[in-house]
Amino acid sequence: MDHDLTEFRPISWQDDASVTLIDQTRLPLEEAWLRFDDYRGLVGAIREMRVRGAPAIGIAGAYAVALAAVECERQGAEDLEGALDAAAREIRAARPTAGNLAWAVDRMLERALLSGGACALVSEAKRIHEEDVVANRDIGRYGAELLDTGASVLTHCNTGALATGGYGTALGVVRSAWSQGKLSTVYATETRPLLQGARLTAWELDRAGIPFTLIPDSAAAYLMRLGSVGAIIVGADRIAANGDVANKIGTYGLAVLAREHGLPFYVAAPTSTIDLDVDSGVGIPLEHRPTDEVTSVAGVPITVQGAQALNTAFDVTPAECVSAIITERGVLRGPYHRSLESLLEAAHA
Ligand code: MRU
């Protein structure tokens, strides 16, 4: 397998009309690749978090629409649009918080209306994928400019190549700053309950040769108090029109801590994560996942049988806690309802 993570793609379209992806539930212990030639299988993989991270979920969703179109054509279905609408509903529901998923599915349906059949939809999905990689590189460059030389950054969850089309958003900033010699170290939170930081960010940083220290989520406040953290950089699952940010559970706590300690709190995300149809974080659907993800680790129970548990997978960080939003079109500052709107207006002009 390719260990150059600047080129690493967690998901790819194959010429035999199938999609391959690295199974993120098995990393870092096993690097296993899965292949799907039916859209329902791919939707299952999104739901089970074999592919995860908002931009990667969006790309997987686009490929799922393409697979559904291929299946329709093979079966000689007459009503392609109707069939795709039904598939789109299933795909969108797989991970409700990730704005990129709804965005990518909508873009695929718009493309379907222009006709061209499955072939055009496959090309559109590949385009969504490539655009994401390019966006990440730009996010990385813009974000690195914000960091002081010798900076140490703290990041949460996994926002790297695995969570995107390739390269990464917040971890793309880390990667870019590291390649410029600006970064001293990275603190990666383990990210309970599913340990995306311990399993996936550690896997990526290790292979990229970037020094990192894994910390329990609960150590963040202590490290900030010690003065060991220069900035916090996270990704986003969805950004509302007012700049509120939905991201992995625990992000809000880090933002409040950053404010308390006078540290910059940066959110790195492509414009495909911005949802101007949602006024504020209150309108962002937050995914609730099975509680056994909290009551066990890697399938091993860690609490008493029948314990009640809470597994809200995301929280919302209010816009006023966000120092800047780093996009592929530049760095935005508050008030975000203005900067986000003008950014998207310029993008569509
Ligand atoms: O539940 P996950 O692992 O899909 O959550 C991922 C995150 O919260 C990421 O921070 C976010 O999707 C941005 S990924 C570039």
CB 242 within 8 A of CB 311: no
Q: What's the pTM? A: 0.96
The pLDDT tens digits for 192-229 are 999 999 999 999 999 999 999 999 999 999 999 999 99
The finding on whether 159 has its CB within 6 A of some atom of ligand 1 is yes
Instruction: Report, as an integer, the average pLDDT of 73-78.
Output: 86
The finding on whether 163 has its CB within 6 A of some atom of ligand 1 is yes
pLDDT band at 1; cut points 50, 70, 90: very low
Q: Is the pLDDT of residue 248 over 90?
A: yes
Return the C-alpha torsion angle 96, 159, 156, 343, nearest 10: -70
Determine the Cα angle at 29 with ends 23 and 34, to 5°: 20
Q: Which helix (H) or strand (E) segment is 229 a member of?
A: none
Instruction: Report, as an integer, the average pLDDT of 76-102.
Output: 93
Query: Could you tell me where the DSSP H helices lie in the chain?
Result: 39-47, 54-74, 80-93, 99-113, 117-145, 170-179, 196, 202-208, 220-226, 251-260, 292-295, 336-348
pLDDT band at 6; cut points 50, 70, 90: low
The finding on whether 196 has its CB within 6 A of some atom of ligand 1 is yes
pLDDT reported for residue 37: 96
Instruction: Report, as an integer, the average pLDDT of 103-110.
Output: 97
The finding on whether 172 has its CB within 6 A of some atom of ligand 1 is no
Q: Cα(247) to centroid of ligand 1, in Å?
A: 6
Residue 237 annotated to the active site: yes
Q: Cα(98) to centroid of ligand 1, in Å?
A: 8
Instruction: Report, as an integer, the average pLDDT of 87-112.
Output: 97
Domains of the chain as residue ranges with CATH: 3-135 (1.20.120.420), 142-348 (3.40.50.10470)
The finding on whether 147 has its CB within 6 A of some atom of ligand 1 is no
pLDDT reported for residue 5: 52
Q: Which helix (H) or strand (E) segment is 250 a member of?
A: none
The finding on whether 295 has its CB within 6 A of some atom of ligand 1 is no
pLDDT band at 80; cut points 50, 70, 90: confident
Mutate to test the pocket of ligand 1, among 103, 237, 273 (most ligand atoms within 8 A of CB): 237
The pLDDT tens digits for 9-68 are 999 999 999 999 999 999 999 999 999 999 999 999 999 999 999 999 999 999 999 999
Give me the catalytic one of 4, 37, 138, 237.
237
Determine the Cα angle at 126 with ends 37 and 2, to 5°: 80
Q: Cα(158) to centroid of ligand 1, in Å?
A: 6
Q: Whose CA is nearest to atom 2 of ligand 1?
A: 53
The pLDDT tens digits for 161-187 are 999 999 999 999 999 999 999 999 999
- The Cα diameter of the chain in Å comes to 65
* Rounded percentage of the chain residues whose pLDDT exceeds 90: 92
Instruction: Report, as an integer, the average pLDDT of 301-326.
Output: 98
Mutate to test the pocket of ligand 1, among 49, 50, 154, 158 (most ligand atoms within 8 A of CB): 158
pLDDT band at 79; cut points 50, 70, 90: confident
Q: Cα(190) to centroid of ligand 1, in Å?
A: 13
Q: Is the pLDDT of residue 148 over 70?
A: yes
Closest among 144, 337, 159 to 239, alpha carbons compared: 337
pLDDT reported for residue 81: 86
The finding on whether 200 has its CB within 6 A of some atom of ligand 1 is no
**What is the pLDDT of the chain when averaged over all its residues?**
96
What is the DSSP secondary-structure string of 46-104?
HHTTSS-SHHHHHHHHHHHHHHHHHHHHHTT-S-HHHHHHHHHHHHHHTSSS-HHHHHH
CA of 54, closest atom in ligand 1: 12
Q: Which two tokens stand for residue 333?
A: 């500052």
pLDDT reported for residue 2: 37
The finding on whether 317 has its CB within 6 A of some atom of ligand 1 is no
Q: Is the pLDDT of residue 261 over 80?
A: yes
